[in-house]
Amino acid sequence: MIEFMDESHGNVVGLRVSGTLHEKDYAEFLPKLEDLFRKHGKLRVMFLAGPDFHGWDLSAAWQDTSLGFKHASDFEKLALVGAPDWVVWCVRLSAFLFKGEVRVFPASEFSEAWRWLND
């Protein structure tokens, strides 16, 4: 499941993910995110992985990859918070694709990640 966090405002977007993400999750989430890209141009995004986050199925992984390629220069900042080590590894491998800053935070530094996104 992908949920927009209540703390989201303007071009600062918090996304809380849990369970295994499926294509259906992206079908519900992507139109809202695309609207934010149209409205603000560049976004500052927090990807907060809950303790029960298990990753993506194949179709959702493709949706996520497509989103990343389409908006590679539209992420001003990306904070990855509380993600499992394998997700952190994947993000670090692909960080060169993003034009903005990418930082990884442990779940215990949630507040620090918000401050960083808002600076």
**Predicted local distance difference test score (pLDDT) of residue 92:** 77
Range of the domain at 8: 2-118
Query: pLDDT tens-digit profile of 13-42?
Result: 999 999 999 999 989 989 999 999 999 999
Which H or E run contains 103? strand 101-105
Q: What share of the chain is helix, strand, coil (3-state, %, to 5)?
A: 45, 35, 20
CATH number, position 100: 3.40.50.10600
pLDDT digits (tens, 9 = 90+) for 96-108: 777 889 899 999 9
Is the pLDDT at 117 greater than 90? The verdict is yes
Q: What are phi and psi of 50, to 5 degrees?
A: -70, 165
Give the three-state DSSP class for 2. strand
Task: Give me the long-range contacts of 3-10 (CB less than 8 A, separation at least 24).
Answer: 4/32, 5/46, 5/48, 7/114, 10/40
Report the half-sphere exposure of 44 (CA within 13 A, side-chain side). 16
Q: What is the CA radius of gyration of the chain?
A: 13
Angle (CA) 94-100-103 rounded to 5° is: 65
Q: How many domains would you assign to the chain?
A: 1
Structure tokens at 33: 């995110």
Residue 8 — very low, low, confident or very high, per pLDDT cuts 50/70/90? very high
This prediction's pTM: 0.88
